[in-house]
């Protein structure tokens, strides 16, 4: 029982990160129909920039803020320089562009930073807290709490602000949104920026637990995407549920089945979802008109 609880805790922790990545995917997908593969790189950059800024002498908090801002700018640049110029390309071409961007960012990180693993000090140092025979790191609780806060803020924003409504409108029907005066280009800019920021924060939160390196982004992006697909791409609550689910399934299968194939879980889930329930848990099946 204690063992199960342990797996659940670690699963929820990493699942919270997947959920944040998935949320970033969903935000961009909803406002522009684009699958952004560089999402994982935002997480990586959040962690890496903080690490190296701190190493360069900045106080940790400043480094973190700098990192979030820098990553947000990079996210914006990704849209402005790489995605927006390719408007009208096929969905596959757009994925390729974001894949190219992801590899590019990885390559640059490799040069600017280095190829080693790096860590950050946790927000609260101290011994793991014991709950029901299992131990949970204080940082895990921080991750879960911050994750919940971000989701809440995002939800409030979408439901209660005018800008939030504009994002929803853009997601529902681009042309119609433009016709009623929504600046859809800026909305997509905005969603890229927010996704980048969310990713960066996730990266800063998880680095004390799971470390980071220049190539940590790829796997994260894929798992985050699996989470978004599982929840139903385009559904924000689905992204959160999907992320937590994948985190837990991963931890449980690593614990009880085989830790080697831990990473395979997410990909098996992707294939399973695409083949059997393409609309995911919370999505709606689409009917195409001929």
Residue 31's alpha-carbon distances to 25, 90, 215, in angstroms, are 10, 16, 27
Tell me if 274 contacts other proteins by CB under 8 A: yes
> 129 is written with which tokens?
């807290």
Which is nearer to other proteins, 92 or 175 (by Cβ)? 92
Tell me if 152 contacts other proteins by CB under 8 A: no
Tell me if 96 contacts other proteins by CB under 8 A: yes
Residue bearing tokens 């890229």? 192
C-beta of 235: minimal distance to other proteins in Å? 16
Question: Site for other proteins (CB under 8 A): which residue of 4, 52, 70, 104?
Answer: 104
Tell me if 91 contacts other proteins by CB under 8 A: yes
Window of 44-52, 89-97, 171-179, 200-208 that interacts with other proteins by CB under 8 A:
89-97
Contact 106, 214 (CB under 8 A): yes
Q: Which residues contact 112 (CB under 8 A, 6 or more apart)?
A: none
C-beta of 265: minimal distance to other proteins in Å? 10
Contact 40, 224 (CB under 8 A): yes
Tell me if 28 contacts other proteins by CB under 8 A: no
Residue bearing tokens 């190539």? 215
Window of 43-51, 122-130, 234-242, 273-281 that interacts with other proteins by CB under 8 A:
273-281
Residue 76's alpha-carbon distances to 69, 73, 112, 190, 215, in angstroms, are 11, 5, 20, 8, 21
Question: Site for other proteins (CB under 8 A): which residue of 92, 162, 175, 180?
Answer: 92
Contact 138, 123 (CB under 8 A): yes
d(CA 60, CA 135): 27
d(CA 121, CA 126): 11
Window of 47-55, 98-106, 154-162, 166-174 that interacts with other proteins by CB under 8 A:
98-106
Question: Which positions lie near other proteins, rule CB under 8 A?
Answer: 35, 82, 85-86, 89-97, 99-108, 110-111, 218, 222, 225-226, 229, 260-261, 263-264, 267-268, 270-271, 274-275, 278, 287, 290
């Amino acid at each position: 029982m204690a063992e199960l609880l342990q797996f659940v805790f670690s699963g929820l922790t990493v699942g919270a990160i997947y959920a944040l990545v998935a949320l970033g995917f969903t935000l961009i997908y909803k406002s522009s129909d684009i699958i952004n593969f560089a999402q994982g790189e935002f997480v990586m950059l959040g962690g890496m920039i903080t690490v190296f800024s701190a190493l360069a002498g900045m106080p940790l908090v400043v480094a973190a803020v700098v990192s979030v801002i820098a990553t947000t700018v990079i996210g914006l640049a990704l849209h402005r320089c790489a995605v927006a110029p390719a408007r009208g390309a096929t969905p596959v071409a757009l994925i390729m562009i974001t894949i190219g961007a992801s590899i590019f960012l990885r390559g640059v990180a490799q040069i600017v930073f280095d190829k080693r693993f790096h860590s950050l000090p946790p927000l609260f140092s101290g011994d793991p807290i014991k709950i029901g025979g299992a131990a949970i790191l204080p940082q895990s609780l921080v991750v879960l709490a911050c994750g919940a806060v971000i989701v809440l803020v995002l939800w409030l924003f979408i439901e209660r602000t005018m800008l939030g409504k504009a994002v929803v409108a853009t997601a529902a029907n681009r042309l119609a949104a433009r016709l009623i005066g929504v600046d859809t280009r800026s909305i997509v800019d905005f969603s890229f920026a927010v996704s980048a920021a969310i990713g960066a924060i996730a990266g800063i939160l998880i680095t004390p637990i799971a470390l980071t390196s220049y190539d940590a982004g790829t796997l994260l992006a894929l798992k985050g995407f699996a989470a978004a697909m599982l929840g139903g791409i385009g559904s924000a609550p689905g992204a959160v549920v999907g992320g937590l689910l994948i985190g837990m399934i991963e931890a449980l299968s690593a614990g009880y089945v085989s830790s080697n194939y831990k990473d395979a879980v997410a990909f098996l889930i992707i294939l399973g979802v695409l083949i059997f329930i393409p609309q995911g848990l919370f999505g709606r099946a689409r009917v195409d008109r001929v």
